[in-house]
Amino acid sequence: MPAFHRAISQPLGIATLVAFLVCCNAVAQPHPYQTAETLEEPLLFAPGVISTDAIEYGPTFSPDGRTFYFTRRASWRDTPALYVSHFAEGAWQEPTVLPFSGQYSDEYPSFDGDRLYFASKRPVDDTGERSHNDLWFVERTDDGWGTPQHLPAPLNGDGIDSHPHTTAKGDLYFHSNRAGGPGGVDIHRAALVEGHYAEPVIVPFNSEATDGEAIVDPEERFIIFYSEREGGQGRGDLFVVYNEDGAWSSVANLGDTINTADYEWTPAFSPDGRYLFYAHLAGNNSDIYQIDLDRLVNLP
Protein backbone atom coordinates (compact mmCIF):
# COMPACT_ATOMS: atom_id res chain seq x y z
CA MET A 1 0.00 0.00 0.00
CA PRO A 2 1.45 3.42 -0.91
CA ALA A 3 2.59 5.51 2.05
CA PHE A 4 -0.08 8.14 1.35
CA HIS A 5 -2.91 5.61 1.68
CA ARG A 6 -1.30 3.92 4.67
CA ALA A 7 -1.21 7.29 6.41
CA ILE A 8 -4.91 8.00 5.98
CA SER A 9 -6.05 4.42 6.63
CA GLN A 10 -4.93 4.62 10.28
CA PRO A 11 -6.92 6.51 12.94
CA LEU A 12 -5.60 10.04 13.30
CA GLY A 13 -5.74 12.39 16.25
CA ILE A 14 -7.13 15.87 15.68
CA ALA A 15 -3.72 17.55 15.86
CA THR A 16 -2.22 15.01 13.46
CA LEU A 17 -5.14 15.39 11.05
CA VAL A 18 -4.86 19.17 11.03
CA ALA A 19 -1.11 18.97 10.39
CA PHE A 20 -1.71 16.45 7.60
CA LEU A 21 -4.31 18.67 5.90
CA VAL A 22 -2.07 21.72 6.17
CA CYS A 23 0.76 19.74 4.59
CA CYS A 24 -1.46 18.56 1.73
CA ASN A 25 -2.71 22.10 1.15
CA ALA A 26 0.87 23.37 1.04
CA VAL A 27 1.61 20.88 -1.74
CA ALA A 28 -1.46 21.95 -3.73
CA GLN A 29 -0.83 25.64 -3.07
CA PRO A 30 2.93 26.24 -3.29
CA HIS A 31 2.66 30.01 -2.90
CA PRO A 32 0.84 31.16 0.24
CA TYR A 33 -0.70 34.19 -1.50
CA GLN A 34 -2.46 32.01 -4.10
CA THR A 35 -6.21 31.58 -4.02
CA ALA A 36 -8.26 28.58 -5.12
CA GLU A 37 -10.31 30.64 -7.58
CA THR A 38 -9.57 33.41 -10.04
CA LEU A 39 -9.75 36.80 -8.34
CA GLU A 40 -12.17 38.75 -10.51
CA GLU A 41 -12.41 41.45 -7.83
CA PRO A 42 -9.74 42.88 -5.52
CA LEU A 43 -9.08 40.87 -2.36
CA LEU A 44 -7.78 42.50 0.83
CA PHE A 45 -4.41 40.91 1.60
CA ALA A 46 -3.88 39.36 5.05
CA PRO A 47 -6.48 41.49 6.86
CA GLY A 48 -5.66 42.24 10.47
CA VAL A 49 -2.03 41.18 10.05
CA ILE A 50 -0.61 43.11 7.07
CA SER A 51 -3.62 45.22 6.07
CA THR A 52 -4.63 46.95 9.30
CA ASP A 53 -5.85 50.28 10.65
CA ALA A 54 -2.34 51.63 10.05
CA ILE A 55 -1.14 52.87 6.65
CA GLU A 56 0.37 50.10 4.49
CA TYR A 57 1.77 50.38 0.97
CA GLY A 58 4.74 49.42 -1.19
CA PRO A 59 4.45 45.60 -1.31
CA THR A 60 7.16 43.22 -2.52
CA PHE A 61 7.84 39.48 -2.10
CA SER A 62 10.83 37.23 -1.75
CA PRO A 63 11.23 35.01 -4.85
CA ASP A 64 9.72 31.99 -3.06
CA GLY A 65 6.65 34.02 -2.09
CA ARG A 66 6.92 33.18 1.60
CA THR A 67 8.33 36.50 2.80
CA PHE A 68 6.51 39.79 2.33
CA TYR A 69 8.07 43.24 2.64
CA PHE A 70 6.12 46.49 2.76
CA THR A 71 5.95 50.01 4.19
CA ARG A 72 3.92 50.85 7.28
CA ARG A 73 3.32 54.03 9.22
CA ALA A 74 0.88 54.67 12.06
CA SER A 75 -0.31 57.96 10.55
CA TRP A 76 0.80 60.38 7.87
CA ARG A 77 2.58 62.39 10.55
CA ASP A 78 4.66 59.39 11.60
CA THR A 79 7.90 58.17 10.06
CA PRO A 80 7.45 55.26 7.60
CA ALA A 81 9.49 52.10 8.14
CA LEU A 82 10.11 48.87 6.23
CA TYR A 83 8.37 45.80 7.64
CA VAL A 84 8.63 42.08 6.98
CA SER A 85 6.16 39.24 7.49
CA HIS A 86 6.96 35.53 7.08
CA PHE A 87 4.48 32.82 6.15
CA ALA A 88 4.67 30.07 8.74
CA GLU A 89 2.31 27.53 10.32
CA GLY A 90 -0.27 28.22 7.62
CA ALA A 91 -0.53 31.98 8.16
CA TRP A 92 1.24 35.29 7.68
CA GLN A 93 2.99 36.16 10.90
CA GLU A 94 2.91 39.46 12.76
CA PRO A 95 5.15 41.91 10.83
CA THR A 96 8.32 43.30 12.37
CA VAL A 97 10.52 46.24 11.40
CA LEU A 98 13.55 45.27 9.33
CA PRO A 99 16.74 45.58 11.41
CA PHE A 100 18.19 48.43 9.33
CA SER A 101 14.94 50.45 9.30
CA GLY A 102 12.90 52.34 11.85
CA GLN A 103 15.12 55.32 12.60
CA TYR A 104 14.78 57.32 9.39
CA SER A 105 12.05 57.58 6.76
CA ASP A 106 12.23 54.37 4.66
CA GLU A 107 9.60 53.29 2.13
CA TYR A 108 8.81 51.67 -1.25
CA PRO A 109 10.84 48.44 -1.03
CA SER A 110 11.53 46.25 -4.07
CA PHE A 111 13.33 42.92 -3.61
CA ASP A 112 15.09 41.01 -6.40
CA GLY A 113 16.25 38.10 -4.21
CA ASP A 114 19.70 39.53 -3.53
CA ARG A 115 19.10 43.22 -2.97
CA LEU A 116 16.28 45.13 -1.36
CA TYR A 117 15.98 48.52 -3.05
CA PHE A 118 14.10 51.27 -1.26
CA ALA A 119 13.67 55.04 -0.93
CA SER A 120 14.92 56.82 2.16
CA LYS A 121 15.60 60.19 3.73
CA ARG A 122 18.42 58.77 5.85
CA PRO A 123 21.65 60.79 5.89
CA VAL A 124 24.27 60.09 3.26
CA ASP A 125 26.99 61.58 5.46
CA ASP A 126 27.17 63.37 8.81
CA THR A 127 24.97 66.26 7.67
CA GLY A 128 21.83 64.64 9.10
CA GLU A 129 18.57 63.31 7.66
CA ARG A 130 17.78 64.49 4.16
CA SER A 131 14.64 66.46 3.31
CA HIS A 132 13.79 64.25 0.32
CA ASN A 133 13.95 60.62 -0.73
CA ASP A 134 17.01 59.09 -2.36
CA LEU A 135 17.55 55.61 -3.77
CA TRP A 136 19.22 53.01 -1.52
CA PHE A 137 19.80 49.27 -1.46
CA VAL A 138 20.80 46.66 1.09
CA GLU A 139 22.09 43.18 0.31
CA ARG A 140 20.66 39.99 1.75
CA THR A 141 23.31 37.48 2.84
CA ASP A 142 23.29 34.10 4.57
CA ASP A 143 23.95 35.95 7.82
CA GLY A 144 21.15 38.50 7.39
CA TRP A 145 21.10 42.03 6.02
CA GLY A 146 24.15 44.10 5.20
CA THR A 147 24.60 47.84 5.55
CA PRO A 148 22.32 50.09 3.44
CA GLN A 149 24.17 51.64 0.49
CA HIS A 150 23.37 54.97 -1.15
CA LEU A 151 23.17 54.64 -4.92
CA PRO A 152 25.61 57.05 -6.56
CA ALA A 153 24.97 59.75 -9.15
CA PRO A 154 23.61 59.84 -11.79
CA LEU A 155 20.88 57.71 -10.20
CA ASN A 156 20.42 60.06 -7.25
CA GLY A 157 20.12 63.74 -8.05
CA ASP A 158 19.42 66.89 -6.08
CA GLY A 159 15.69 66.30 -5.82
CA ILE A 160 13.30 63.46 -5.06
CA ASP A 161 14.34 60.03 -6.37
CA SER A 162 12.01 57.28 -5.29
CA HIS A 163 10.23 53.96 -5.86
CA PRO A 164 13.07 51.87 -7.37
CA HIS A 165 12.25 48.69 -9.28
CA THR A 166 14.70 46.41 -11.10
CA THR A 167 13.87 44.37 -14.18
CA ALA A 168 14.86 40.75 -14.81
CA LYS A 169 17.92 41.94 -16.74
CA GLY A 170 18.92 44.44 -14.08
CA ASP A 171 17.72 47.79 -15.44
CA LEU A 172 16.48 50.18 -12.77
CA TYR A 173 13.22 52.10 -13.03
CA PHE A 174 12.43 54.91 -10.59
CA HIS A 175 10.62 58.22 -10.50
CA SER A 176 12.13 61.63 -9.98
CA ASN A 177 11.26 65.32 -10.00
CA ARG A 178 14.56 66.22 -11.67
CA ALA A 179 14.38 68.66 -14.56
CA GLY A 180 13.87 67.58 -18.15
CA GLY A 181 10.60 65.67 -18.03
CA PRO A 182 7.14 66.72 -19.17
CA GLY A 183 5.62 66.52 -15.68
CA GLY A 184 6.53 67.47 -12.14
CA VAL A 185 7.42 63.83 -11.39
CA ASP A 186 8.43 61.47 -14.19
CA ILE A 187 9.46 57.84 -14.65
CA HIS A 188 13.12 57.22 -15.50
CA ARG A 189 15.06 54.12 -16.58
CA ALA A 190 18.73 53.46 -15.97
CA ALA A 191 20.12 50.60 -18.07
CA LEU A 192 22.58 48.19 -16.45
CA VAL A 193 25.62 48.09 -18.72
CA GLU A 194 28.60 45.89 -17.80
CA GLY A 195 27.69 46.02 -14.13
CA HIS A 196 27.14 49.78 -13.97
CA TYR A 197 24.06 51.94 -14.38
CA ALA A 198 24.00 54.27 -17.36
CA GLU A 199 22.65 57.81 -17.29
CA PRO A 200 18.90 57.62 -16.55
CA VAL A 201 16.57 58.45 -19.41
CA ILE A 202 12.95 59.58 -19.25
CA VAL A 203 10.57 56.94 -20.57
CA PRO A 204 8.45 58.07 -23.53
CA PHE A 205 5.02 57.45 -21.97
CA ASN A 206 5.29 60.13 -19.28
CA SER A 207 2.61 62.81 -19.32
CA GLU A 208 2.40 66.39 -18.09
CA ALA A 209 0.88 65.04 -14.87
CA THR A 210 2.59 63.07 -12.10
CA ASP A 211 3.78 59.62 -13.27
CA GLY A 212 5.70 57.12 -11.17
CA GLU A 213 5.96 53.77 -9.38
CA ALA A 214 6.60 51.78 -12.56
CA ILE A 215 6.93 47.99 -12.40
CA VAL A 216 8.01 45.99 -15.44
CA ASP A 217 6.71 42.58 -16.45
CA PRO A 218 9.65 40.10 -16.25
CA GLU A 219 9.32 39.45 -19.98
CA GLU A 220 9.05 43.22 -20.59
CA ARG A 221 5.70 42.84 -22.33
CA PHE A 222 4.08 45.63 -20.32
CA ILE A 223 4.61 48.14 -17.52
CA ILE A 224 2.10 49.05 -14.82
CA PHE A 225 2.52 52.47 -13.22
CA TYR A 226 0.80 55.13 -11.14
CA SER A 227 -0.42 58.33 -12.77
CA GLU A 228 -2.57 61.37 -12.11
CA ARG A 229 -3.08 61.98 -15.83
CA GLU A 230 -6.43 62.57 -17.49
CA GLY A 231 -8.57 59.56 -18.26
CA GLY A 232 -8.44 58.12 -14.78
CA GLN A 233 -11.17 56.91 -12.47
CA GLY A 234 -10.07 59.04 -9.52
CA ARG A 235 -7.36 61.16 -7.99
CA GLY A 236 -4.57 58.72 -8.82
CA ASP A 237 -4.89 55.50 -10.86
CA LEU A 238 -2.90 52.55 -12.12
CA PHE A 239 -2.24 52.43 -15.86
CA VAL A 240 -0.65 49.89 -18.20
CA VAL A 241 1.59 50.51 -21.20
CA TYR A 242 2.37 47.74 -23.69
CA ASN A 243 5.56 46.85 -25.52
CA GLU A 244 4.73 46.86 -29.22
CA ASP A 245 7.58 45.87 -31.53
CA GLY A 246 10.16 47.00 -29.01
CA ALA A 247 8.57 50.35 -28.16
CA TRP A 248 6.31 51.38 -25.29
CA SER A 249 2.93 52.47 -26.57
CA SER A 250 -0.83 52.11 -26.07
CA VAL A 251 -1.21 53.48 -22.54
CA ALA A 252 -4.49 52.38 -20.95
CA ASN A 253 -6.20 52.86 -17.61
CA LEU A 254 -6.57 49.53 -15.75
CA GLY A 255 -10.26 50.26 -15.32
CA ASP A 256 -12.80 50.50 -12.56
CA THR A 257 -12.31 46.92 -11.40
CA ILE A 258 -9.51 48.27 -9.23
CA ASN A 259 -9.32 52.01 -9.84
CA THR A 260 -11.67 54.10 -7.71
CA ALA A 261 -12.41 57.74 -6.94
CA ASP A 262 -9.54 57.62 -4.44
CA TYR A 263 -5.92 56.50 -4.97
CA GLU A 264 -4.57 53.18 -6.26
CA TRP A 265 -0.79 53.15 -5.99
CA THR A 266 2.47 51.22 -5.37
CA PRO A 267 1.87 48.23 -7.69
CA ALA A 268 3.89 44.99 -7.50
CA PHE A 269 3.78 41.56 -9.13
CA SER A 270 3.59 38.28 -7.27
CA PRO A 271 6.63 36.04 -7.87
CA ASP A 272 4.61 33.64 -10.03
CA GLY A 273 3.35 36.53 -12.17
CA ARG A 274 -0.29 35.66 -11.55
CA TYR A 275 -1.32 38.57 -9.35
CA LEU A 276 -1.08 42.29 -9.17
CA PHE A 277 -0.61 43.59 -5.63
CA TYR A 278 -1.23 47.27 -4.94
CA ALA A 279 -2.32 49.73 -2.25
CA HIS A 280 -5.69 51.48 -2.07
CA LEU A 281 -5.62 54.83 -0.29
CA ALA A 282 -8.88 56.35 0.93
CA GLY A 283 -8.97 59.07 3.54
CA ASN A 284 -6.25 58.40 6.11
CA ASN A 285 -5.99 54.66 5.52
CA SER A 286 -4.07 52.65 2.95
CA ASP A 287 -4.39 48.86 2.62
CA ILE A 288 -2.89 46.26 0.31
CA TYR A 289 -4.99 44.28 -2.19
CA GLN A 290 -4.42 41.59 -4.79
CA ILE A 291 -6.19 40.64 -8.02
CA ASP A 292 -5.50 38.33 -10.96
CA LEU A 293 -3.41 40.12 -13.59
CA ASP A 294 -5.32 38.44 -16.42
CA ARG A 295 -8.37 40.37 -15.24
CA LEU A 296 -6.59 43.64 -16.03
CA VAL A 297 -3.96 43.15 -18.72
CA ASN A 298 -4.84 42.26 -22.32
CA LEU A 299 -1.82 40.80 -24.05
CA PRO A 300 -1.95 40.12 -27.82
Whichever domain contains 115, its CATH number is 2.120.10.30
Is residue 9 assigned to a domain?
no
Percent over 90 (pLDDT), the chain: 79
pLDDT in tens, 231-279: 889 999 999 999 999 999 889 999 999 999 999 999 999 999 999 999 9
pLDDT at 123 > cutoff 50? yes
pLDDT at 196 > cutoff 60? yes
Report, as an integer, the average pLDDT of 32-59.
96
Domain span at residue 234?
A: 41-295
Report, as an integer, the average pLDDT of 213-227.
96
Is residue 117 assigned to a domain?
yes
C-beta neighbour count of 163 within 10 angstroms: 30
Question: Which of the 8 DSSP states describes residue 171?
Answer: -
Q: pLDDT at position 113, please? A: 93
SS3 293: helix
Is residue 22 assigned to a domain?
no
Q: pLDDT at position 225, please? A: 98
Split at pLDDT 50, 70, 90, the class of 29 is low
pLDDT in tens, 54-87: 999 999 999 999 999 999 999 999 999 999 999 9
Is residue 248 assigned to a domain?
yes
What does each C-alpha distance from 147 to 93, 139, 140, 218, 262 come to in angstroms?
A: 25, 7, 10, 28, 37
C-beta neighbour count of 104 within 10 angstroms: 17
pLDDT in tens, 9-23: 344 444 443 343 344
Q: pLDDT at position 158, please? A: 87
Mean pLDDT, rounded, of the chain? 89
Is residue 25 assigned to a domain?
no
Q: pLDDT at position 299, please? A: 85
Amino acid residing at 101: S
Is residue 27 assigned to a domain?
no
Is residue 34 assigned to a domain?
no
Rounded (5°) CA angle 128-140-225: 75
Report, as an integer, the average pLDDT of 97-125.
96
Is residue 231 assigned to a domain?
yes
Q: pLDDT at position 152, please? A: 87
Burial call 183-216: b when 16+ CB within 10 Å, e when fewer: bebbbbbbeeeeeebeebebbebbbebbbbbbbb
String of DSSP letters for 223-288: EEEEE--TT-SSSBEEEEEEEETTEEEEEEE--TTT--SSEEEEEEE-TTS-EEEEEEEETTEEEE
Which ranges of the chain would DSSP assign to H, the alpha helix? 3-9, 14-28
Q: pLDDT at position 126, please? A: 74
Instruction: Report the domain count for the chain.
Output: 1
Amino acid residing at 132: H
Look at residues 182, 138, 139, 188 and name the one whose alpha carbon lies nearest to residue 160. Answer: 188
Element (H, E) at 87: strand 81-88
